[in-house]
């Protein structure tokens, strides 16, 4: 069968990806999400989810969702500005804002949509976005879509950021940064970013997809100064440590009111199911009372770092967060090590270029409070023996 030209180009593109070993494939999860999973028929210990606190499969969250479904049904049925804004969404927004220490908050269906919505609402073509080079793809897409000038600085190089800010003639400026960097696990210098935002009259937009629920008793990576600054717009995504789905933006109340008017990914989309907001309220309770989970996570991080900090080859990157990257170097070697671990029943993804810089292909180990001590020990022993082989 002959395809029309446009389809034929797509087909060629797929063949090319396969040839270059870049074709991405999805494996099939057949169990609940968690530290122990069944993937493509195999029982594995997973070191690749973002479910850092083990809440994705927590019975309290599931029960809250099921109760809400019984009471309110499944679908939200409309956008927030029509009739989709449920009391449960509203309750979550208020509880979330109070917890992270900001005056107001707004829920979005995903972190990707929140980033797109916030940047396009706050900036125009008269603006300029200053972005860390290692920011998440969704922030880069948002920066490109908002029409502002898009200026990137080398990872964590705030001296370079300052010199770029100095040169800027844009009317509105916005600095945006991952708060915890998703592939490196390091934490942004929030207070210094805020000081630059103040001197150079910029917004500071912080994407805390990986810090909310984990850092600062679960409140995430905002510092006292950042909580109190009207310049700071804070994003938490709710499908990672919070274990559910969605995202919430916390900011000055007028910024939130503006987003309700202008964030197109908020206005022109169906509200998330209210049952998910119910699950998120239950998740917030678990996060608030989650000191034991965070303590367990800290123990795992310490055990892993003690075990892998001094390998004969491969370098563990400096990170205090549950994201613990082990740099292997070459794409093929990272894939081979990941494959060897899989033979031991350990699921650890190899992250390759172009997701990470060339020559820094790595295992991205992510730890969860749901791991048993023995499983972390098993991972450490397996990697040690591969490093010595
Ligand atoms: C996962 C992630 C997002 C996207 O959030 P979703 O809710 O999954 O769409 C945004 N920013 C960062 C840093 C992330 O890691």
How does residue 371 score in pLDDT terms, banded at 50, 70 and 90?
Answer: very high
Q: Is the pLDDT of residue 170 over 70?
A: yes
- The token duo for 304 is 């892993």
Sheet holding 247-251, edge to edge: 104-108, 247-251, 232-237, 202-207, 172-178, 127-132, 149-153
Q: Is the pTM of this model over 0.75?
A: yes
39 three-state secondary structure? strand
CA nearest neighbour of 231 among 254, 265, 208: 254
Do 301 and 320 meet the contact criterion of CB atoms below 8 Å apart? yes
Ligand 1 midpoint to CA 237 (Å) = 6
Supply the pLDDT for residue 3. 74
Ligand 1 midpoint to CA 246 (Å) = 9
Ligand 1 midpoint to CA 243 (Å) = 13
- Residues near 102 by beta carbon (within 8 Å), at least 6 away in sequence: 222, 227, 232, 234, 250, 251, 252
Residue with tokens 């990941």: 338
Supply the pLDDT for residue 71. 98
**What is the atom index within ligand 1 of the atom nearest the CA of 136?**
13
> Which of 140, 207, 234 for a ligand 1 pocket mutation test, highest count of atoms within 8 Å of Cβ?
207
Ligand 1 midpoint to CA 257 (Å) = 23
Ligand 1 midpoint to CA 34 (Å) = 18
Q: Is the pLDDT of residue 57 over 60?
A: yes
The whole-number average pLDDT for the span 169-178 is 97
pLDDT digits (tens, 9 = 90+) for 12-41: 999 998 887 778 889 999 999 999 999 999
**What is the atom index within ligand 1 of the atom nearest the CA of 246?**
7
pLDDT digits (tens, 9 = 90+) for 255-307: 999 999 999 999 999 999 999 999 999 999 999 999 999 999 999 999 999 99
Supply the pLDDT for residue 316. 96
Ligand 1 midpoint to CA 381 (Å) = 31
Ligand 1 midpoint to CA 138 (Å) = 7
**What is the atom index within ligand 1 of the atom nearest the CA of 239?**
7
Supply the pLDDT for residue 20. 79
Q: Is the pLDDT of residue 205 over 90?
A: yes
pLDDT digits (tens, 9 = 90+) for 92-131: 999 999 999 999 999 999 999 999 999 999 999 999 999 9
Which residues contact ligand 1 via a Cβ below 6 A?
Answer: 110-112, 136, 138, 178, 182, 207, 209-210, 237, 239, 247
Domains (range + CATH), the chain: 27-53+291-388 (3.90.1150.10), 59-288 (3.40.640.10)
Using CA positions, which residue lies closest to atom 6 of ligand 1? 111
Supply the pLDDT for residue 4. 92
Using CA positions, which residue lies closest to atom 1 of ligand 1? 209
Supply the pLDDT for residue 22. 78
How does residue 2 score in pLDDT terms, banded at 50, 70 and 90?
Answer: low
Q: Is the pLDDT of residue 46 over 80?
A: yes
Supply the pLDDT for residue 24. 86
Supply the pLDDT for residue 357. 87
**What is the atom index within ligand 1 of the atom nearest the CA of 178?**
13
- Which segments within the chain are labelled E, that is strand? 36-39, 42-46, 104-108, 127-132, 149-153, 172-178, 202-207, 232-237, 247-251, 315-316, 323-329, 346-347, 350-351, 361-366
- The token duo for 243 is 């274990």
pLDDT digits (tens, 9 = 90+) for 296-346: 999 999 999 999 999 999 999 999 999 999 999 998 999 999 999 999 999
Supply the pLDDT for residue 165. 98
Ligand 1 midpoint to CA 80 (Å) = 22
Which is it for the CA torsion 121, 122, 128, 130, positive or negative? negative
Supply the pLDDT for residue 353. 81
How does residue 1 score in pLDDT terms, banded at 50, 70 and 90?
Answer: low
Do 321 and 188 meet the contact criterion of CB atoms below 8 Å apart? no
Pairing of strands 323-329, 315-316: antiparallel
Supply the pLDDT for residue 356. 87
């Amino acid at each position: 069968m002959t395809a029309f030209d446009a389809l034929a180009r797509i087909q060629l593109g797929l063949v090319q990806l396969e040839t270059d070993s870049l074709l991405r494939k999805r494996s099939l999860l057949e169990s609940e999400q968690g530290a122990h999973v069944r993937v493509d028929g195999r029982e594995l210990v997973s070191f690749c989810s973002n479910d850092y606190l083990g809440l994705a499969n927590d019975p309290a969250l599931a029960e809250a969702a099921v109760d809400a479904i019984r009471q309110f049904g499944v679908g939200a049925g409309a956008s927030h500005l029509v009739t989709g804004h449920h009391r449960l969404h509203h309750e979550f927004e208020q509880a979330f804002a109070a917890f992270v220490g900001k005056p107001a908050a707004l829920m979005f269906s995903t972190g990707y949509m929140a980033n797109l919505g916030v940047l396009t609402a706050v900036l125009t073509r008269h603006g300029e976005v200053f972005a860390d080079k290692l920011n998440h793809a969704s922030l880069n897409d948002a920066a490109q879509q908002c029409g502002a000038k898009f200026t990137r600085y080398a990872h964590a190089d705030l001296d370079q950021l300052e010199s770029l800010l100095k040169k800027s003639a844009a009317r509105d400026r916005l600095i945006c940064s991952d708060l915890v960097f998703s592939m490196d696990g390091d934490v942004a210098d929030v207070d210094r970013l805020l000081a630059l935002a103040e001197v150079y009259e910029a917004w500071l937009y912080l994407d805390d997809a990986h810090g909310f629920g984990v850092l600062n008793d679960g409140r995430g990576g905002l510092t006292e100064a950042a909580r109190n600054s009207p310049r700071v717009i804070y994003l938490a995504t709710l499908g990672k440590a919070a274990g559910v789905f969605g995202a919430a933006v916390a900011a000055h109340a007028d910024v939130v009111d503006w987003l309700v008017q202008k964030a197109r990914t908020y206005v022109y989309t169906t509200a998330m199911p209210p049952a998910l907001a119910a699950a998120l309220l239950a998740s917030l309770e678990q996060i608030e009372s989650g000191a034991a989970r965070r303590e367990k996570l800290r123990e795992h991080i310490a055990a892993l770092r003690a075990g892998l900090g001094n390998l004969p080859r491969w370098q563990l990157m400096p990170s205090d967060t549950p994201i613990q990257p082990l740099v292997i170097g070459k794409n093929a070697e990272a894939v081979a090590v990941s494959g060897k671990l899989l033979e031991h029943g350990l699921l650890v993804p190899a992250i390759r270029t172009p997701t990470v810089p060339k020559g820094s292909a790595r295992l991205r180990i992510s730890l969860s409070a749901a791991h048993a001590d023995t499983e972390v020990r098993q991972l450490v022993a397996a990697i040690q023996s591969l490093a010595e082989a």
